[in-house]
Structure 1
Amino acid sequence: MLLAFDIGNSNTVLGVFKDGKLLTNWRIETDPNKSADEYGMLVNQLFAYEGLKLTDIKDVIISTVVPSVLYTVQHMSQKYFNKRAIVVESGVKTGLIVKYDNPKQVGADRIVNAVAAINKYGGPLIIIDFGTATTFCAVTEKAEYLGGTIAPGLKIASEALFEKTSMLPKVELDEPGHTICKNTIQSMQSGLVYGHMGMVEFMVKKMRKELEEHCGTHKPVTVVATGGLSTMIENGVDCIDYVDKLLTLEGLEIIYRKNRKPSKHAHKNYDWNNEQ
């Protein structure tokens, strides 16, 4: 079995795969103050609840945008699973050709999402990840990762309104149902949620045009959304084709296979830094 970690700024998603199929997954809070033993005990409890054993795990793979937690989880993998984890970083085979000015600056989560999406949906693609930040990534049908856009996520925007103003309260991220609101809470919800939906619509429209011009083809661009708030945003926009909340975990499993179980019949793999 394979244990996959997607460590984000706010949450960490774990998934267990057997023979390429996702058996179960969990979402926990990312805590840079936790020790390797604390993470180990937490994973042990999650496994026990699902009837899994630590000894069932034959490999571990990690994707993270939180360097301070990476060493901790690596140490936990070594101590509790006796496995040296694969880390999604420069040099790992992904199948993508990264066209970023500096490929090392691309977040591992964005690469992993792109790997999963190009394998599941084909290209050209726009991938939107609604996490701590909301990211937009463009991928061609030739598996070229062109780049994208990074915007503040909904939770960051909500927290900023509360922390940087004297009279605005914390609010739940929910649709108020209208934009002409008659109280402060609904006014904030409208600005946050509907404002984010408007940003998504505009960004996808502009990125779609640029992607079509780059590819020189009129092949339809598929828009895939992932992340915790993807369903809520998708309900209010017309530009998202698929919501796929397990995209990152599936991308980690694909990358694992590319790096541990290469096939003679597979397409040529490209290193993260490889550019044509």
Structure 2
Amino acid sequence: MLLALDVGNTNITSAIFDGEKILGMFRITTKTPRTADEIGVLLKNILQGRNISPKDITDAVIASVVPNIMHALVTGIERYLCVKPMIIDSNTETGIKKITYNPGQIGTDRIVDAAGALSKYDGPLIVIDFGTATTYDLILEDHSFAAGITAPGIQISAMALWRDAAQLPEIEIKKPDHILAKETISSMQAGLVYGQIGQTEYIIKKMKEEAQIDNIKVVATGGLGRIIAQSTDYIDFYDKELTMIGLLAIFQMNKKEL
């Protein structure tokens, strides 16, 4: 079995693969400092809680945008699961050609999402990840990463509201029934969610206009992406497993080199 981990700024999102079948997915908070032993024990307990023996994990693959967690994470996996994980970096074969001005600055999470989208939907694509940041990436039919847009994520915007405005409370992020809110909580929810919908639709529209490419499919992923995808016709597919599928595709591409 393969343990796939996507280390983001907020969560480590993980999946267990048996071949190409996902047996389960789980999340661990990234911002909580943990030692290698704590991470290793936590992973073993999660696996056992899903009736998976840690001994059945034969491989692991990691994509990360948080360098300072990597030593503890890799050591924990090696020590408690007894496998050496593949680390996806700028030298890893991903099947994605980078044609931006600074290809080395493209985050591995975005490349992994692109690989996952191409393996399921083919190009050309706009791939949107509603994570800590909301990212919009243009992937061409020849698997080229052509352009990307980065915006604050919904959670970042929400935290800014209740951190910097003394009288605004911490709220659940969900779409209210109406945009014409009559009290504080639904007014914040309306601004956050409807604002994200408007941003999403406008950016997709402008990307398509400037790209001048017909039949661009729009694929979204990310924790809060379902709320947005259900609220607009501009997104063709919402795929919560997209990043995990990308990790699997890149692992399979490079497995022969291990």
TM-score norm. by structure 1 comes to: 0.90
Cα deviation digits, residues 125-146 of structure 1 (max 9, x gap): 0011011111101100100011
Alignment correspondent of 2:8: 8
| Aligned partner of residue 101 in structure 2, secondary structure | coil
Separation in structure 1 between the aligned mates of residue 136 and residue 155 of structure 2, nearest angstrom? 17
Q: Of residues 216, 223, 242 in structure 2, which corresponds to 1:221?
A: 216
Shift of residue 72, structure 1, vs aligned partner: 1.3
Separation in structure 2 between the aligned mates of residue 15 and residue 57 of structure 1, nearest angstrom? 11
5 Å matches for 1:100-179? 100-179=100-179
Separation in structure 1 between the aligned mates of residue 254 and residue 248 of structure 2, nearest angstrom? 10
Partner AA of 2:75 in structure 1: H
Contact 2:129-2:135 within 8 A present in 1 as well: yes
| Aligned partner of residue 261 in structure 1, secondary structure | helix
Contact 1:124-1:221 within 8 A present in 2 as well: yes
Unaligned runs of 5+ in 1: 263-276
Contact 2:40-2:81 within 8 A present in 1 as well: no
Alignment correspondent of 2:84: 84
Separation in structure 1 between the aligned mates of residue 112 and residue 78 of structure 2, nearest angstrom? 23
Partner AA of 1:238 in structure 2: D
Alignment correspondent of 2:237: 242
Alignment correspondent of 1:44: 44
Contact 1:32-1:68 within 8 A present in 2 as well: no
5 Å matches for 1:26-65? 26-65=26-65
Alignment pair present for 1:94 and 2:89: no
**Structure with the greater relative contact order (CA < 8 A, sep ≥ 6): 1 or 2?**
1
Moved more, 41-50 or 173-182: 173-182
Percent of pairs identical after alignment? 40
Shift of residue 55, structure 1, vs aligned partner: 1.5
Shift of residue 169, structure 1, vs aligned partner: 1.5
Partner AA of 2:44 in structure 1: N
Contact 1:13-1:25 within 8 A present in 2 as well: yes
RMSD of equivalent CA atoms: 1.3
5 Å matches for 1:231-270? 231-261=226-256
TM-score norm. by structure 2 comes to: 0.96
Separation in structure 2 between the aligned mates of residue 243 and residue 127 of structure 1, nearest angstrom? 10
